[in-house]
C-alpha cells in the first residue's frame, strides 16, 4: 500500500478531515488529536498494511508506522490540508497533557541511544569483573568513552544571527564565547592536572534531535 493510499484510509477511519484537530509525529509514531474520538475505528487501523500498531494514550491516537512516518505525515497533511502542528488549535488538550506530549517528543528519540549506551556499560562491567580487561588499558577507556558519549552535552552558543547585506555574519560574540571555554580547558590541564579527553561544541545528542526534525 502506497503512502497516498494509507493516508487516505487512515483519514477515513478516524472520521475524515474535519475530525482532525492536530497532527504531529515522532521518530516512529503518527500522533493525532481528534475532536471526536468515538469516530476512530481502531481495529481497522491496526489491520492496515504498513501500520505496526495503534493505541489511544492521553486522549491522543498514536499510530505506529516506523522510521518512514515522516513521509506518511506529510501525505496526510497534504490530503487533509492540515495546519502545521505548531500552529494548530490545541483547545481540546489539557495543559498537563500537552506538557507530557512535549516531553515524549523530546525524549522518545533518545531512548534507543540511551539503551545502547547502557548495554555497552553492562558489557564493560562484565569484562571488568571477569578481569578480562584492565581499567587503565586503552581498550577499557575507549569503550567506556563510547558508552558515555551519549550523555555528553555541548556548550555551543545558540544565537539569533543577523546576516549582513552581503550574507556574512559578524559573530564576534560566539568567537569570544568559545575562546573563553578553550582558555578554561587549558588552565584545567596545565594548572590543575585534569586529564582532558576531548571537547565538543556539539554533542552526540544533537544527531538524534536533528534526525527527528527537532532542530528545524
Model pLDDT, residue 161: 73
pLDDT at 75 exceeding the cut of 60: yes
Model pLDDT, residue 141: 84
Over residues 65-86, mean pLDDT: 81
Is residue 60 classed as helix, strand or coil in its secondary structure? strand
Model pLDDT, residue 90: 46
Cα 121 off chain centre by? 22
Model pLDDT, residue 100: 72
Model pLDDT, residue 215: 45
Over residues 49-59, mean pLDDT: 87
HSE-CB at 159 with a 13 A cutoff on CA atoms is: 14
201 is catalytic: no
Model pLDDT, residue 89: 44
Q: Is 29 left (phi over 0), alpha (psi -120 to 50) or beta?
A: beta
Model pLDDT, residue 41: 94
Confidence of residue 213 (pLDDT cuts 50, 70, 90): very low
Q: What is the dihedral of CA 125, 128, 129, 131, to 10 degrees?
A: 160
Confidence of residue 16 (pLDDT cuts 50, 70, 90): very high
Distance from C-alpha of 94 to C-alpha of 100, rounded to nearest angstrom: 10
Model pLDDT, residue 142: 85
Over residues 43-59, mean pLDDT: 89
DSSP state of 52: -
Confidence of residue 19 (pLDDT cuts 50, 70, 90): very high
Residue 148 or residue 86, greater confidence: 148
Summary mean pLDDT of the chain:
80
In SS3 terms, 115-126 reads as: HHHHHHHHHHHH
Quick check: pTM over 0.85?
A: no
Q: What is the DSSP string of 126-189?
A: HHHHTTSS-TTSHHHHHHHHHHHGGGPPP-PPP------TTS----HHHHHHHHHHHHHHHHHH
Over residues 52-68, mean pLDDT: 87
Query: In this predicted model, what pLDDT tens digit does every residue of 117-137 receive, in sequence order?
Result: 889 889 989 998 888 888 888
Amino acid at each position: 500500500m502506497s503512502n497516498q493510499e494509507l493516508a487516505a484510509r487512515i483519514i477515513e477511519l478516524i472520521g475524515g478531515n474535519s475530525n482532525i484537530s492536530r497532527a504531529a509525529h515522532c521518530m516512529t509514531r503518527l500522533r493525532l488529536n481528534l475532536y471526536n474520538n468515538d469516530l476512530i475505528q481502531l481495529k481497522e487501523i491496526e489491520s492496515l498494511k504498513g501500520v505496526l500498531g495503534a493505541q489511544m494514550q492521553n486522549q491522543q491516537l498514536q499510530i505506529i508506522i516506523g522510521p518512514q512516518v515522516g513521509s506518511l505525515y506529510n501525505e496526510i497533511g497534504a490530503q487533509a490540508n492540515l495546519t502545521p502542528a505548531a500552529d494548530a488549535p490545541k483547545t481540546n488538550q489539557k495543559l498537563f497533557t500537552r506538557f507530557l506530549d512535549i516531553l515524549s517528543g523530546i525524549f522518545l528519540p533518545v531512548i534507543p541511544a540511551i539503551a545502547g549506551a547502557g548495554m555497552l556499560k553492562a558489557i564493560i562491567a562484565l569484562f571488568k569483573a571477569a578481569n578480562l580487561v584492565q581499567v587503565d588499558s586503552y581498550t577499557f577507556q575507549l569503550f567506556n568513552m563510547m558508552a558515555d558519549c551519549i550523555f555528553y552535552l555541548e556548550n555551543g552558543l545558540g544565537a539569533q544571527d543577523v546576516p549582513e547585506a552581503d550574507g556574512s555574519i559578524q559573530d564576534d560574540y560566539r568567537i569570544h564565547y568559545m575562546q573563553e571555554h578553550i582558555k578554561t580547558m587549558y588552565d584545567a590541564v596545565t594548572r590543575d592536572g585534569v586529564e582532558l579527553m576531548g571537547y565538543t561544541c556539539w554533542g552526540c545528542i544533537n544527531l538524534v534531535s536533528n534526525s527527528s526534525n527537532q532542530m528545524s
